[in-house]
Structure 1
Amino acid sequence: MKVFTFLFLALSVFFSDLPASPKINFKDLVINAEQNSSLRSDVYSLAKESSQPVSVLTAEGAVIEAKGIEDGKLVYAVITDKADIYNNAYTAFYDEISATYDLTRSKMYFADGKIADNSNGRFNFTVSDHSGMEEYLMVTYWTDDNVYLLSKVNGDVIDPNFIPPSPSVLGSPKMAMQDVSGLNILIADQINDGVFKFDTSGAYIGLFAPNGGINNSILDNVRGIRYRSNNNLLVCNASGASANTIQQFDTDGNFISTFIGNANLNSPFDILIRSNDMLITNSSGTNKITRFDLDGNFLSNFYSGSNFNFPQQMQRLPNGNILVAAFSTPSGIAVLDSNGNFIRLMTGVSGLRSVFVLGNGNYLVTNGAGIHEVDTINANIIRTIVSGTSFQYITVYKPVTPVGINNSNSAGLNDFRLEQNYPNPFNPTTNLEFGISELGFVSLKVFDATGKEVAVLVNENKSAGSYSVSFNGSNLSSGIYFYKLESGGYVETKRMVLLK
């Protein structure tokens, strides 16, 4: 009896020393965090106070993110399988994570933007040169509050900071999209309750919608955005006084009206506009995808089955079928026909937020473990392009060349160059640097966004070498301008922003 009592006490001491685990399970934690943007704000505030990381990439292969709070402590979602994020996933407090994983060999992200990278380059990715392509892909990223630019052909990373980290503006960029002019990027931010405008050099321009300032009676917990054929912007809104609606704004960001009311929507996430109707995904309720006409009138419950759950972004295929990124279990890439009939669910990868068909025929997807290229048979991972916890929606970016400017670049003249101006944005002066490899006539001119010439900086013969020219925009209004270098057969144009 004494031996039994001793063993019992010893085991009690042993187990009492083990780190406690949260009560909430993994699935509930990630779904709550996905739907309720306010949780992220609370998590980041507590992470700053406690000096604990908001996400961790471990040497052991785990992908970890703080997604909730329990008993005054951060609750982390721990993903151990980057393909099926629900497989062997669990929740943990920080002391359990630090006891389980070697954080001295991990990459840790903190709420103040600092990164502690002790991974010895384990999570580095290759940045490829695909310049000159007609179209690219943008992918929003919550951890750094930025936008990646990827190849539309194979998903290679071209620019990890196409829209650079902007924590003072963005808190959870859900979706990026070109505006009607093509010269700016609109970013729907789930936490900061608005649509924000940047130019394509990455400079912040201002709040686009609601014009006049954040207004939670109009937008609160923003998700996907799309343009109507009349160029009015539609915004999925999940919370606040206008919960479960689609809100409509004009081309200046002024609020027009509630385009679709809450009668047939339940936590809307994405809008897919077709020739005669539009489809909207719902993360809650039995009606997973709702169908409306182009004026916002309810037509039908497009899909209400149980083959997949929590649909997010959609893509229409050339044959009319629709790919759906399913976040919650059953999870994967769902395929529906044009009438909403279920065809199949590809389960090689789970926890999806977005899916896109690449030019090489494979699919590009985002989930809680990164950006992946997957096959079209069962969505099995071909490669993980970038590891990370919070990549969001994939959208197309097509560079626009203003009227009157030839943005071609002759091959074989690599010794000619035109550098990005600095500072950028500028007010009122900036420096333009260029180099030429041989004696010849050189032209360096500045144009406004319509293609009108506003300044001639160089218009003469110059010897081979590097040059710097100052440009003064004091007589010009704020906006986007383009500077164009021509010398021999070399032509190159770059953007700059005058911000007064």
Structure 2
Amino acid sequence: MKKTTIIVALLFSLTGLSYSITHTIINSGTTFSPNAITINLGDTVIFTLSSLHNAVEVSQATWDVNGTTSNGGFLLGFGGGIVVLQTTGTHYYVCIPHASLGMKGTIIVNQTTDIKPSETITPQELRLMQNFPNPFNPQTQINFHLDHPAYASLKIYNLLGAEITTLVDGNMSAGDHRVEWNAENQPSGIYFYQFKSSGKIETKRMMLVR
């Protein structure tokens, strides 16, 4: 059985040597949208679903017959969550309550290459920096840049995709901004911080170590 984990490897999380991209999957009725994506190893996939839908990884044989038996891979509760796939190949998943209606999808994971996209900043582009320090205990600093005044939000999520707190939620001026997160009441582990502005989304990982 193919084993998948949403726990990010410590080395990958902390070195920052690999470039990762965030992909978002939503539901449109009883259909995942998009229901087939191709990503690179270590990319982040965010499932943003209604409270009626979940996402559970299954085998290809189970997927082919619209079954619901988990293969031990990722398991996201109702409303969705965050997945970071650490094995290449095709990952099959279904919505358990609606698998019989064909609510299912695939994620093809390719090996990461050494080629990075251009880091040239174009007008009206946001930049989200890696938090510092990382790992941290219990405070860390997050910096971001806006090329123009805009509404922005910055939220923290745990490994299961549950929202922990909102650090930014409002109109921001152009330029560099800095916020701090005090995770004094949170357990050790991997967290995600997601920045949204002008229709764009960036997500990065960080680690709290007690």
**Structure 1 length-normalised TM:** 0.21
**Structure 2 length-normalised TM:** 0.49
Structure with the greater relative contact order (CA < 8 A, sep ≥ 6): 1 or 2?
2
Richer in strand (by share): 2
